[in-house]
Amino acid sequence: MLIGTSLRESGQYAASLDALTGALEQARTTKAEVLEASILIEIGSTCLPIDDHESAAEVLTEGVAIAARYPKEQQEAVGRQLLGRALAGLGMVAEARAEWAKAIALYDRVADPRAGEVRGLLRGEG
């Protein structure tokens, strides 16, 4: 997964998706659900900068559903924040705002400063 994330951060999106897809297959084979959720969220994050909002929304929805079963891992809030961006990119503004509100609530529970960033999205600042 780290290779896929590093490739994404360097702008190598196709290579990133290839690496992350391979990691996802391994996570599913070993039934490592927490890792699977994390990888799905990374895949969604990789789809956003290439404007593949439909694929992002699909994998992020799946990742969020898994992450919600493991609240101690704190992945759900990140997934919901990104899912909101994907939905906004699809023109689903009300649904995006609902995901951002859920992300804020999750971030606020643990005093995560990313809540402020998501509040900015709700105000149209991002």
The reported pLDDT for the residue numbered 72 is 84
Q: With respect to CATH, is domain 2-122 assigned 1.25.40.10?
A: yes
59 — alpha (psi -120 to 50), left (phi > 0) or beta? alpha
Torsion of CA 34, 7, 62, 36, to 10 degrees: -20
Given a cut of 90, whether residue 74 has pLDDT beyond it is no
Share of the chain above pLDDT 70, in %: 99
Q: What is the DSSP track for 3-66?
A: HHHHHHHTT-HHHHHHHHHHHHHHHHHTT-HHHHHHHHHHHHHHHGGGT-HHHHHHHHHHHHHH
Rounded distance between C-alpha atoms, residue 95 and residue 32, angstroms: 29
Mean model confidence pLDDT for the chain: 95
Dist CA 113 CA 23 (whole Å)? 29
Q: Give the model confidence (pLDDT) of 47-67 as tens digits.
A: 999 999 999 999 999 999 999
pLDDT (tens digit, 9 = 90+) per residue, 18-48? Answer: 999 999 999 999 999 999 999 999 999 999 9
Kindly indicate the confidence band of residue 71, based on its pLDDT and cuts at 50, 70 and 90.
Answer: confident
Domain boundaries, the chain: 2-122
Query: Does 94 score more than 90 pLDDT?
Result: yes
